[in-house]
Amino acid sequence: MHRDEILAWLCEGDLARLGDLWQLADRTRQHYVGGEVHLRGLVEISNHCVRWCGYCGLRAGNHSLHRYRMTDGEILACTREAVELGYGTVVLQAGEDPELTRDRIAGMVSRIKAETPLAVTLSLGEREDGDLAAWREAGADRYLLRFETSNRALYEQLHPPRTGYRPTDRTAILGALRRLGYEIGSGVMIGLPGQIYDDLADDLMCFGRLGLDMIGVGPYLRHPQTPLADRHRWPPASNVEQVPASELMTYKVMALARLVCPRANIPATTALATLNPREGHELGLVRGANVVMPNLTPPRYRALYEIYPGRAGEAETGEACCRGLDQRLRAIGRRPGRGRGDSSNYQMRRS
Ligand code: SAH
C-alpha cells in the first residue's frame, strides 16, 4: 500500500467511504488469518519502573503509585488459570524493572514451558541483548515492544533514555529480537500530543518495513500524574494536523495495519475498550483485529498497573471476562481460537 493512500485514509472523514475500509480490512483478515480470535492471558507481573516516559503512569517519577511485584507462585497460578480458561498464550508484562533479573525471568519462563502447553510472550521493556537471548533460550516465544511513534523527535521527547545511558532505538531492539528467533510485536499510540497525520502514515509504513508478526495500537489516554497530561489539549488552530486520540482514528489505524501486514496478529486493545467499553472489542474485531487479551492479573494488583486511569475490565476476574467474551464473539460470527495462535506471518518467514 502506498503512503499517499494510507495518508488519505487517515484523513478520510466520510463514514460511508470508511465503510469500504472496514470491509476491506475484515475481508483481508478473514482471508489471511481466518475467523478464530486468539485469546492471550495478560499478567502484569510488576509495576516498578526505572523509566520516565512522559505518557505512562508507571513512570519512576510517579510517587503517588503503590508499587508491587508478583511472586513466582502468584505468576504460576495465573498461568494455570490461563490453561483452565482454554487460552493458548500467556503474556508477562511489566514496567522496566531491574529486579526482574535475567535469571529470574529465565527460570519463570522455563517453568511455564515445562508445566503448561502455553506459548509465552514477554513485554518487559528495553532489555540487554543478553537478557533477551537468555529468555529465548529458556523457551520464550514472542516479545512485544511498541516503538510508540516513528517520529524520532517526538519519541525522544516522550521517552528519555535511562540516566547514564544513550538514547535507545526500539526498532534496533526489534531487529535483535527477530534474529534471536522471537515472534516480534510492536505498535504505537494514537493521538499523542504533537503527533500529526504524516507521523501516523510513517508508523504504518514502518509496520510494513519491519514485517511485524504482531501489531498492537491504541489511543493515547491521559494520565494526570504525567508531564504529558498538561498537554492534553489539542494545539491551537494553526496546528490543525494534530491527530485526535479517538476511537475512530484507532479503527482506521487497525484496519490499515491489517492491509499493510495482512498475516499479523492484531489485538483489539484494552485502551480501545476503555474508550468504548460496550463494543470497542467487537468493532475492532470486525475492522481488522483477530486477538483479544483478557487480563488475568490478580484484582488486587490490577488497579495498580495504572499506565492510564480507568482501564476497561479493571474490576473483572479473568473467568468472568472469559464467560462474557465467548458469547460476544459468537454474536459477531467468530469463535475463540484453539492452540497457541502463532502468527501466520512468523510461520511463513520461518519456512
Ligand atoms: N514497560 C513495557 C510495557 C509498557 S505498558 C514497555 O515499555 O514496553 C505497554 C504499552 O502501554 C506501552 O507500550 C504504551 O504503548 C501503552 N501505554 C502506556 N501509557 C499509555 C497511555 N497513557 N495511554 C495509552 N497507552 C499507554
pLDDT digits (tens, 9 = 90+) for 189-235: 999 999 999 999 999 999 999 999 999 999 999 999 999 998 755 45
- Is the residue at 329 inside a domain? yes
Protein residue closest via CA to atom 4 of ligand 1 = 95
Question: What cell does 272 get?
Answer: 480501545
The domain that holds 197 is classified in CATH as 3.20.20.70
Q: Where does residue 233 rank: exposed (0-12), middle (13-18), buried (19+ CB within 10 A)?
A: exposed
Three-state SS at 111: helix
- CB-ligand 1 contact for 271 (6 Å cutoff): yes
Spacing, Cα 53 to ligand 1 middle (Å):
9
Protein residue closest via CA to atom 18 of ligand 1 = 56
At what angle are helices 197-210 and 3-11 packed, to 10 degrees? 130
Give this prediction's pTM.
0.96
Per-residue pLDDT, 234:
47
- CB-ligand 1 contact for 95 (6 Å cutoff): yes
Spacing, Cα 221 to ligand 1 middle (Å):
10
- Is the residue at 325 inside a domain? yes
Per-residue pLDDT, 166:
87
Protein residue closest via CA to atom 24 of ligand 1 = 220
Question: What's the mean pLDDT in 36-58?
Answer: 97
Protein residue closest via CA to atom 13 of ligand 1 = 146
Mean per-residue pLDDT of the chain = 94
pLDDT at 11 exceeding the cut of 90: yes
* pLDDT band with cut points at 50, 70 and 90 for residue 324: confident
- CB-ligand 1 contact for 221 (6 Å cutoff): yes
CA dist 140 and 113 (Å) reads: 8
Three-state SS at 116: coil
- Is the residue at 347 inside a domain? no
Question: What cell does 155 get?
Answer: 519519541
Spacing, Cα 243 to ligand 1 middle (Å):
18
- Is the residue at 9 inside a domain? yes
Protein residue closest via CA to atom 10 of ligand 1 = 146
- Is the residue at 99 inside a domain? yes
- Structural domain count, the chain: 1
- Is the residue at 336 inside a domain? yes
pLDDT at 320 exceeding the cut of 90: no
Spacing, Cα 17 to ligand 1 middle (Å):
31
- The whole domain housing 41 covers 3-341
- Is the residue at 84 inside a domain? yes
Per-residue pLDDT, 2:
96
- Is the residue at 350 inside a domain? no
pLDDT digits (tens, 9 = 90+) for 158-167: 999 988 888 8
